[in-house]
Structure 1
C-alpha cells in the first residue's frame, strides 16, 4: 500500500472489508474456492496444512502488516492451506477478482503486487535455507537476536505470542522448541512463560 499513489490507494481501500475474528476461528480451509486475500491489521493468523492423519504443519505466522493468499492474484482458484486466528485478530479482506481487474488498469498496483510476491518469495527462500543450514537452537537464537538488535549485556524479551506459535514460526515442533531453549541455557538464556532473559547477547551470538 505504501508504494501506491493517492488515487490507486483510494481505489484499493474501497475494496477493503475490515473483519474481526476470535481466537481459533477458521478464516478459510485448504481446497476451498478462493475469493479473497487478506492483510493482518492486528493480532496473529496461523497458516498451516493437515495430512491425512490430521497432523498439522505450520507454514507461516502472519502478524500486523503481513498479507496472505496474495499469490492467488497471479494464479490459482483454491486456497493452498488453512488459515486460523491464533488470537483475536482484525484483518482487511480484498476481493481477488476485483483487485486483478484494478491491477490491469493501474500500473502502480500491478507493480506493488509484483513487489509483494517477490518479497514473499525471498522470505520463503530464506526460511528454507535456515531450516537446512541452522540447528533448532541456532534458529531460536537468531530470532532472539533479531528482537534485541543493538542491545548489549543483559536483555529481557517478552514474546508477543505463545511459544507454540513461535515454534510454528521457526518451523519447529513444540517439543523441539523446548529442547532448543534448554540447550541455550549455557548461553545464559532463561525462559519463564513468555518472558525470556538473555544474560549475555554476545554469548548468544556465538551459538
Structure 2
C-alpha cells in the first residue's frame, strides 16, 4: 500500500513512517463502475485519493442535463473544497471503472494539512490549477468554435493521461461520446463529426477504452 501512496503527488515528500500514518487514519475502498461517491449539494465530510481507476466529476442542470467537469485518475485527489470552506459539494462524483480510493474524514484531513505543509501546498497548487482551467474553459467557450474545442480537449487529455511511443500517444479513456462532448462543451453531433474527420485523416484511432493520437499527422 505504501508504494501506491508514493504515486500520489500530494504525498511526494513524505517518508515511509508518515505514509504509514496516513494509512492508519484512512479507509480504503474498491468500488465497481458506476458508483456515486457523493452528489452535488450534499455536505462534504470526506477527502478522496484515487489509487487506481478513474472518476468523473459532474454537475446537472435543473432539467437533468449532465455536464462533465473533469476526470480524476490514479494518483490524483478530490473532494477537498467542501472540507475547506464548509459549503455543500460543488459537483457529483462517479466511478467510470472499477476504482480503488483512499478516504480521509474531515478531521484527519485538516490535521494532515496542519502537520504537513507539503500537503497543504500541494492542495493549494491543485486548487489554483483548477481555477486556471476553469478560466481557460470559459475563454474557450467564448472564443473557440466547436471543432477547435474538441481538438483542444483531446490534446489536453493526451497531455494529462497519455503514454507516448514515438509519434503515437495512447490515452486510456473511460468516458463515452456523451461525456467527451460535455467536457468539450459541444453537442454530441459536433464531437462525432470531428472524430470522424480525424479518423479519416489518420490523426485519431479509437479502440476499446482508449484512443491514440498520431502527432505527426496532427501537426500536418
Sort the TM-score into its range (normalised by shorter chain): 0.7 to 0.9
Unpaired runs of 5+ residues, structure 1, are none
Unpaired runs of 5+ residues, structure 2, are 1-10
For residues 130-162 of structure 1, what are the alpha-carbon distances to aligned partners after superposition, in whole Å with 9 as ceiling and x for unaligned? 44454443344342564475733xx47464324
What is the rounded CA distance, in whole Å, between the counterparts of 2:112 and 2:50 in structure 1? 21
Counterparts in 2 of 1:13-52, with a 5 A limit? 13-52=23-62
**2:109 is matched with which residue?**
99
Q: Under a length normalisation based on structure 2, what TM-score does the superposition of the two structures give?
A: 0.74
Q: Under a length normalisation based on structure 1, what TM-score does the superposition of the two structures give?
A: 0.78
For residues 173-197 of structure 1, what are the alpha-carbon distances to aligned partners after superposition, in whole Å with 9 as ceiling and x for unaligned? 4333212213335643355554656
Change (3 A) 1:185 1:59: same
Aligned length: 203
Q: 1:163 and 2:176 equivalent? A: yes
**2:3 is matched with which residue?**
none
CA contact (8 A) 1:137 1:181 kept: no
Change (3 A) 1:24 1:18: same
Q: State the SS of the aligned residue for 2:112.
A: helix
Report which stretch shifted further, 41-50 or 164-173: 164-173
Cα RMSD (Å): 3.1
Q: What is the aligned counterpart of 2:151 among 141, 152, 155?
A: 141
